[in-house]
A and B are shown apart, each in its own frame.
Chain A
Amino acid sequence: MKLVNTVRGLFFVLLISVGVFPAVGEDLSRFQALLAKIDEQTDFRSHDLSATVTVISHKPGEDDNVIQCEYFRRDISDKFVILIKKPEAQKGQGYLKIGDNITFYDPDSGQFSTVTGSSNFQNSDAKNSDFQDSTLAKDYKVVSAESYKLVDKDTWKLTLEATRNTVTYPKRIIWVEKSTNLVLKSEDFSLSGRVLRTSLYGRYIQIQDRFIPQIMRFEDNLKKGQVTMLFIQNPSLAKLPDTVFTRAFLEKVSQ
């Protein structure tokens, strides 16, 4: 838990030491291209991605909930599989995304049920859609942009509006590091305009020409003190068997 507290503290410092610089008028189409760039350098279309993911949810007055899972992603065909390994009570549960459909497998009942991308992952503040590849350019249009000093980093603060009413968050504000074109922070809004979640992305690592954040922090802005940390470890681009992205795989490995 020390690691979590340290990271939490770092992000807290990051948050309170935000510096604001005057906005710079920019051509918004340039920023639309920036969204495409962000998507491009964080997707894994030419490789499969696998990693170990640890999700730690903190809710006030409750013990931290730690979930460890195996994570497999194949962006070229818009698929992912998440297999829960710990805790024992949830072991064997899994998620399979193929296209727009996400199904949840419960080994206790042996049943698959449909879940949505906007549903919370295992009662944490992470959404199921947080595990898929970035689709900012497809889902959003940039409605405003300004230069912003986020701690010591020069960023673009972009206000995005969803282009379709099926996108989980109708509005987002994202902070994109100018030098790397990587998202460092986002605020996710409800349809009624309320900030629902503040997300921070840190410790990007480069795998070939792609980037992946090793730590994500999701703070629930409605439920005070509720925070989820997501750690991605041991990422690998090794080719995965096609059978991984099937219901049969989830059923087999849960036995």
Chain B
Amino acid sequence: MGIRTMALRNLGRQKRRTVLLGAAIAFGLAVVTLVNGLSAGMIRSLEDNLSNLFTGQIFITGTEKTDKGKVVQRIDNDAALLKAVKDLKIPYVYESRTSVVPQAGLISDTSTAYLTLYGVDFGPDSFLSRRLSLLEGTLNLAGTDGIIISEGAAKALDVKLGDRLSVQATTETGQQNVVDFTVRGIYRDIGVASSLAGAYADRKQVNVLLNLAPTDYNQFGLYLGNITQVEFWGQKLYDQLKAQGVPLWPRSSDQSQIDQELRTQKWTGTKFLLQTLDDKLSIVRALFSALDAAAFAVLLILYTVVMVGITNTYRMVVHERTREIGTLRALGMQAKEVRRLFLWEAVFLALGGIIAGFIAGAVLLGLTSLFDLSSWKAFTILLRNNHLHPLVDAGSFFVDLVAVTALTAFAASFPARKAARLLPAAALRQNF
């Protein structure tokens, strides 16, 4: 009989003890699987939802400095950008040309709301027509003065379809401007991140507000579909543009650094800033990373307790099985084989607990995705079709598997070494 088979049979001899120890390991892993799966799923849903709201996943904005030192946020020539996208054969689903107004004041008869206004191209194949969850109205605003706002904005402004809104903003050169729009669509609210929910109108009409030419825009966006590829293609596009000699801000630039350079550096023309959704979501991502770190810390504490339990249990096991060890040694089993026997028992125990914990965690994750959370409006941004969409990451499962197995084996190694050092004659003389 091999060592591994003996180890498995030994585990079966003390079913209750094995189950309790395995359950402790399984509980820890189930908690971690649940937390990691929920946070990974929420991040993915957040990224997907914000890709839709921001009209893309890779963004390029243009800052033009004229020979008079005037700064204008505008892209009036995108030939170099399109060439880079084409040369790289980026597998994008949709490209967008958007005129973004960061702090547009939407003024109704009773109230004012400040939000981001996106001037987009509407049409049957438009990005928004496939992505925005409309509650009422139409998405076909091409060539009209229509505006689409969120459910929350409509409530705050006390407006309904057909009502007029004055939109106040600063033009690209710093002048005050006001243009009237008609509410033509209201989309489903995105809850806790509603401050990120913008309003959408025809780009030409928004360009009137910004005093831009009808074909100009200030943000070029690419939607890739596969969000895991965004950072890869974002960096490739940055490198390609750089290789083409296109003036670029460093990717890590924030607005204050750009402002500083605009003030101090003497140059004219357009400089582009490339950002990915990751850059825009760095704060949110940090929040979820903190959640993962907290889950990992809980796991460590939990497993420290479990490891102490395993060490003590195996000390007891070695004590109980001293005569058995003596018999095995007398029959010719080597000391290192005795040590391996106990270590394999610990490894099998850990593997059983890990697999059971992972299955329990996955089942719980599956159950969480069954609930319709449409009434959970505050967190709509973290949902997909009003459901949680948890993700199980095979990579992190593998890390957990290796780490927990190693820790369990480590915890059992001290009693195993003690068992291996027992002298056969002394072990056989042992009475309890």
Contacts and interface: CB of A to CB of B under 8 A. Distances in A.
Interface stretch (A39-47, A167-175, A234-242): A167-175
Contacts of A113: 255-256, 259
A114 B71 CA distance: 13
Interface string B154-192: 000000000000101011011111110000000000000
- Give the interface size bracket for A toward B: 20 to 34
Contact of B173 (A112, A166, A222): A166
Interface string B97-114: 000000000010100100
B280 interface: no
A255 interface: no
A165 B171 contact: yes
Given A112-B256, A192-B179, A222 B174 contact: no
A196 B263 CA distance: 30
A20 to B, nearest CB: 26
With most chain A CB atoms within 10 A of its CB, the pick from B109, B178, B208, B263 is B178
B83 interface: no
A165 B173 CA distance: 6
B70 interface: yes
Given A113-B256, A114-B256, A168 B175 contact: yes
B211 interface: yes
A187 interface: no
B107 to A, nearest CB: 5
A169 B178 CA distance: 11
Contacts of B263: 101
Contacts of B107: 222-223
A167 B175 contact: yes
A188 interface: yes
A182 B359 CA distance: 81
Given A113-B256, A222-B107, A188 B112 contact: no
Contacts, number: 62
B174 A191 contact: no
B105 to A, nearest CB: 8
B211 A165 contact: yes
A194 interface: yes
A171 B255 CA distance: 30
A162 interface: yes
Interface string A178-191: 00000000001011
Contacts of A222: 107, 166, 168, 178
Given A101-B263, A113-B256, A224-B109, A162 B175 contact: yes
Contacts of B176: 118, 168-170, 188, 190-191, 196
A108 to B, nearest CB: 15
A111 interface: yes
Nearest to A194: B178
B170 A116 contact: yes
A102 to B, nearest CB: 11
Contact of B175 (A111, A112, A119, A170): A170
A170 B174 CA distance: 10
A117 B256 contact: no
A192 B174 contact: no
Nearest to A116: B174
B375 to A, nearest CB: 29
Nearest to A101: B263
Contact of A114 (B168, B177, B179, B259): B259
B175 A169 contact: yes
A166 B174 contact: yes
A191 B170 CA distance: 10
Interface string A116-131: 1111000000000000
A191 B175 CA distance: 7
Contact of A191 (B70, B112, B211, B259): B211
A224 B178 CA distance: 15
A169 B177 CA distance: 8
Given A114-B255, A118-B176, A222-B107, 8 more contacts: A101-B263, A113-B256, A117-B174, A165-B175, A188-B176, A194-B166, A196-B176, A222-B168
The 4 A-B residue pairs whose C-beta atoms are closest, nearest first, are: A191-B177, A114-B259, A190-B178, A165-B173
25 contacts: A111-B256, A113-B256, A118-B175, A162-B175, A165-B171, A166-B70, A166-B175, A168-B174, A168-B176, A169-B175, A169-B176, A188-B176, A190-B168, A190-B177, A191-B176, A191-B177, A191-B211, A192-B179, A192-B208, A196-B176, A222-B107, A222-B166, A222-B168, A222-B178, A223-B112
Interface of B: 70, 107, 109, 112, 166, 168, 170-171, 173-179, 208, 211, 255-256, 259, 263
